Structure 1
Amino acid sequence: MPAPARPTVRRALVLPLLGLLGAALLNAQALDSNYYPRKAGTRWTYSSGETQIMGAAVTHRGVPVVPVSHQYGSTTYTQDLLEFRADGSVWLRGVNVGGRLSWYAQPLNVYPPGPLSPGMTWKGSNGAVRTVSTVTGVTPLKTAGGTFNALTIQTETTAAGKISVQKTYFVPTLGVVRYETADGTRIDLLR
């Protein structure tokens, strides 16, 4: 099997919006600080061969952030720096690619305060990249990682004058169990 293609910088900007990413904070109903997972050492392995790993909180430029490494094998290609705010929202503060940190003066809003529900919409913009995300419903899914009722989030990203649309399937307290890239590629959680 050929080695996976190295992710591009543009993909590094989009994955945090899909991934977790991803990752984040408070459940307004139960005040659960893991509504968006953020515990150091949490790992997600996907069918693309990518593993995302949450690191321990650090401070960059006076802002506490949680690094999320994107790895193929033992090689880290990118690292997202996520800020978990007291209101429960999650913000992308910067991306580290090949040891070069791109810090956003205007961070991107990855997730609003939880809990998420169908019909919710939020926007993010840092000048170069703009996003609009909407929870479009709940989808029953079966992946190698389990069976879920996942919130479906559609994100439209505008960067360098081009628009792409991705879907993320998010399970509170667990994270992203599936995402579909703009080209239609489906990537599932394995474990």
Structure 2
Amino acid sequence: MLALPAAQAVTPAGYYPFAAGTRWSYSSGEQQVVGPAVVHRGVTVTPVSHQYGSTTYTQDLLELRADGSVWLRGVNASGRLTWFTSPLTVYPPGPLRPGMTWSSANGSVSLRARVTGTSAVTLSAGTFNALTIRTDMTQAGRVSTQTTYFVPTLGVVRYQTADGSVIDLQR
């Protein structure tokens, strides 16, 4: 895990937009919906549901820490919860800037991410100056790479999956 200086400022409110009721609709047909915070295993987590139509396929349980970082504590898929005793860092405290890196592991999964730069992204939802984040996830010895285009206070406006598919925010 990346060691951060003790004097680092707390992430500005709303920098990572995980307020209950926030909803993103993507070109793949997926909708991501933020639910109200709940306590699970003594940890306050914010559920983010991944839906197609009215069916939720997976749900990420995110811990939004006081320093502004976002941690993946667990994943609920098909009614089966996988809880990470060592959570994965989704985002470090912001603001993000090119060259920043972070990593974490929980034994079976490791994650390494780097802000590689900025990109102008034009979508049906608008034109954005996005931070480009490369994430390498290793599981069972296989590395999967995803590129995410993140806009502070708005969220992920585009991502490119490991197979090269490009998914854009629609609204």
Deviation of residue 32 (structure 1)? 2.7
- Superposed CA RMSD in Å reads 1.3
The equivalences for 1:15-54 within 5 A come to 28=9, 32-54=12-34
Q: Which residue of 2 aligns with 1:164?
A: 144
**Structure 2 gaps, min length 5:** 1-7
Alignment partners' CA distance in 2, 1:28 and 1:188: 31
Alignment partners' CA distance in 1, 2:160 and 2:62: 22
Structure 1 length-normalised TM: 0.84
Q: Which amino acid aligns with 1:61?
A: R
Q: Which residue of 2 aligns with 1:115?
A: 95
Q: Which has the higher helix share?
A: 1
**Residue-by-residue CA offset, 1:2-43 (whole Å, 9 max, x unaligned):** xxxxxxxxxxxxxxxxxxxxxxxxx948x6321000110000
The equivalences for 1:1-191 within 5 A come to 28=9, 32-191=12-171
Alignment partners' CA distance in 2, 1:28 and 1:153: 21
Alignment partners' CA distance in 2, 1:117 and 1:72: 32
Q: Which amino acid aligns with 1:121?
A: T
Q: Which residue of 2 aligns with 1:22?
A: none
**Residue-by-residue CA offset, 1:29-73 (whole Å, 9 max, x unaligned):** 8x6321000110000000000000000000000000000000000
Q: Which amino acid aligns with 1:52?
A: Q
Displaced runs of 4+ in structure 1, greater than 3 A? none
Q: Which has the higher strand share?
A: 2
